[in-house]
Amino acid sequence: LLLDKTGTITLGNRQAVELIPVGNVNIRELAELTQLASLADETPEGRSIMALVKEKYGLRGRTVGPAEGKGMKFLPFSAQTRMSGVDVNGLQIRKGAADVIISDVEKNGNRVPRELNDVINRIARSGGTPLVVARNHQAAGVVHLKDIVKGGIRERFAQLKRMGIRTVMITGDNPVTAAAI
């Protein structure tokens, strides 16, 4: 039996629970960059990021009206790019899957801080999803998205196994996160 992870095995509404800056970026900078990258992100994850930066880091919600929005070019999230972001006032801010953002950083001749991989692995091993935030092709930090496994799912899988049915989880998450779930 093939089962999709998100919404079947887990509740499917991953929540942003933490921002972790890397390199010489401070938490306030990362919160501001993450908020800007999430302004046009209508996914549940994007909305949870906006709630996190407001509640935990004290950043007020922003609305993008015609005057402010003229200087902003939004890159909407897509399954193909696996990232989203914004170009504003000479800044290019991107938020997305760790491998995609790391590839972009390296492709543009920048080094990935060693601590970035440590943070990504720690989040993935806990069953969370790490989203990397970059400013001008340099890693700034990580958003920790937490996904909740549905109650009773382990018992249901055990019951299927007793019936001779093997269950297989299908996911687009990175392999470490998938293994933890």
Where in the sequence numbering do the catalytic residues fall? Answer: 4
Rounded-to-integer distance, Cα 93 and Cα 37, Å = 6
3-state DSSP: the chain helix, strand, coil percent, rounded to 5? Answer: 40, 25, 35
> HSE of 80 in the Cβ direction (CA atoms, 13 Å)?
2
Rounded-to-integer distance, Cα 139 and Cα 128, Å = 19
Tally helices (H) and strands (E) across the chain: 7, 8
Structure tokens belonging to residue 126:
């806990």
Structure tokens belonging to residue 92:
């290019």
Structure tokens belonging to residue 1:
């039996």
CB neighbour burial string for 26-62, b if at least 16 within 10 angstroms, e if fewer: eeeebbbbbbbbbbbbeeebbebbbebbeeeeebeee
